[in-house]
Chains A and B, each alone.
With several copies, the nearest count.
Chain A
């Protein structure tokens, strides 16, 4: 199968209500992200890992799948989580390591998702391990003849890991219903893509496996959504895995511990702000007449209020009791 590019049109399959919902998801992800940084800079949250610039792709690929599918998001995927129903409260409970944190009960750093009820598989920090889990999950689905798909996301830099190769190899040999979602934001911390691979498009990595590889404009929600829907259909039809590459830009430093001024120019960063996915989506809902300017403003206020409430709630919430740290090493 050859590498193809999907062009960013085909908004047709989603109705206006759904589009509004997607825009809200993107806005909520962005607002959570912004306020996490504020908390960090105020000394109230030890660590933040941003999603800024990647919301269109994240909401797009999550929305392109079914709730019965399996999701293995990586640490930036606030947009994926929000699309799956993760609330602002949940996000801030996790940020602060509180007992009620749905991802890990306060055990893991923020950004390490997992939510059994919503088919979000628990993730770790060492990058790229999850792509093999997605393959094993897909194998089990295929064995039982189910039509579920599993999807693992990772950064473009993480495709350099050995596990990436082993995962794509297994998936292509067994034609498994799995999507490898590369959120290509141009950098692995300070390392530009050119230091991670010799090819222009990460999707070219699919060629060595005889697998479909697709490069998508990841600042465009609709392109991201449609490419995912198509890849998932292929997978459900038994036509095997797809490597989906969403191209975009990491608008912020790698994390709250990083200072990106050491390795990239402000001009480069500013240039990408013109393609801010939130702005693009806002333009679309306004131009397409899906929302009025007043409705957009009201939505912003609503989302801000949700996040305000979430922060207050999370700050007041208790930590897990110390003795709980000894539980769940093994089955009881």
Chain B
């Protein structure tokens, strides 16, 4: 096992799947010679040619709509959206089309495809290069929503997403691309979609997070451990379908729940996690549920102090945990 960046996991997954299965194609803005603006697809066009690694004209509805057509005709497209913030022009194609094709045709048609997009802040991206958009898609049955937090998961989950028979939205925290390093198993290892990952067991409270926040939660748990607080950290990994069992089981062990995400507080993923607990494990709770999230402002400001204030971080997570335990 070699130690790699998260973005290496992404690139390797695409590389291996394109080598394994010639139906797999990649399309998106600048994915060819440029290798993607983050270099996720570097080298792919040289390996597989510009018919399978396609520099798309600028237009997200087109990219997703064309990918749907490809999937309907025997290909397995990976559609890259350059930044998650720019997925909105494709909202109709994703929500009205990709998500509903199997259902509306009574299983006559389906669209095996992946939509990849870098999301999240902390990179001086301002309002439109920092957004977290995952919550929108959690409300859309027919889609799957996956967010890896480690290089191994990035690779294993993306391989699973490419092999999935249904449309998968795959969001990659852009700050974690080169920040997060870890061991990546060699060879053809997939990680199942739909299962949360136990990052660290604990008994005083459960912290639920995903993406970069899962890493931060782990760091917060280290700090808390030194103070004698035992925090369980669960990386949700798949937001749709949500691993409700893992959530409820954890709360049954720790009796306190803290949910962390960077997306806006209201109607972020934390709402569904909290509601799941309030419905399914209410009697287990020793304290109110706590959501630590991006504030309810339209998006993350560009200037340094306000950007920092927007982002949850290990210290804020640790502090929220302490407060929750004090209740």
Contacts and interface: CB of A to CB of B under 8 A. Distances in A.
Q: Do any beta carbons of A and B sit within 8 angstroms of each other in the complex?
A: yes
Contacts of A240: none
Contact of A162 (B61, B97, B124): B61
A59 B245 CA distance: 54
Interface string A96-134: 011100011111110010111000011011110101111
B29 interface: yes
A70 interface: yes
B139 interface: no
B124 A46 contact: yes
A47 B124 CA distance: 8
Nearest to B106: A105
A14 interface: no
B100 A170 contact: no
A160 B59 contact: yes
A170 B73 contact: no
Given A191-B29, A191-B55, A133 B302 contact: no
A308 interface: no
Given A106-B302, A325-B306, A330-B102, A139 B108 contact: no
Contact of B105 (A114, A161, A191): A114
B141 A137 contact: no
B104 A112 contact: yes
Interface in B56-82: 56-59, 61-62, 65-75, 77
A167 interface: yes
A285 interface: no
Given A124-B128, A320-B303, A163 B297 contact: no
Contacts of A104: 104-106, 302
B225 interface: no
Nearest to A72: B69
A107, A195, A257 interface centre (most CB from chain B within 10 Å): A107
A258 B125 CA distance: 15
A267 interface: no
A142 to B, nearest CB: 8
Contact of B66 (A47, A126, A139): A139
A1 interface: no
A104 B305 CA distance: 15
Interface in B216-248: none
Given A143-B75, A325-B301, A331-B110, A132 B69 contact: yes
Interface of A: 46-47, 70, 97-99, 103-109, 112, 114-116, 121-122, 124-127, 129, 131-141, 143-144, 150, 157-158, 160-163, 166-167, 169-170, 173, 188-191, 195-197, 257-258, 262-263, 319-322, 324-331
Interface of B: 25, 29-30, 32-35, 37, 51-52, 55-59, 61-62, 65-75, 77, 85-86, 88-89, 92-93, 96-97, 100-110, 124-129, 141-142, 144, 164-166, 295-298, 301-306, 309-310
Given A190-B33, A319-B303, 11 more contacts: A116-B108, A129-B92, A132-B68, A133-B72, A136-B72, A189-B30, A191-B30, A257-B37, A325-B306, A329-B297, A330-B144
19 contacts: A108-B127, A109-B127, A114-B105, A122-B105, A124-B104, A125-B129, A132-B61, A136-B72, A139-B66, A139-B69, A150-B73, A162-B62, A163-B62, A166-B57, A170-B62, A195-B57, A325-B306, A331-B102, A331-B165
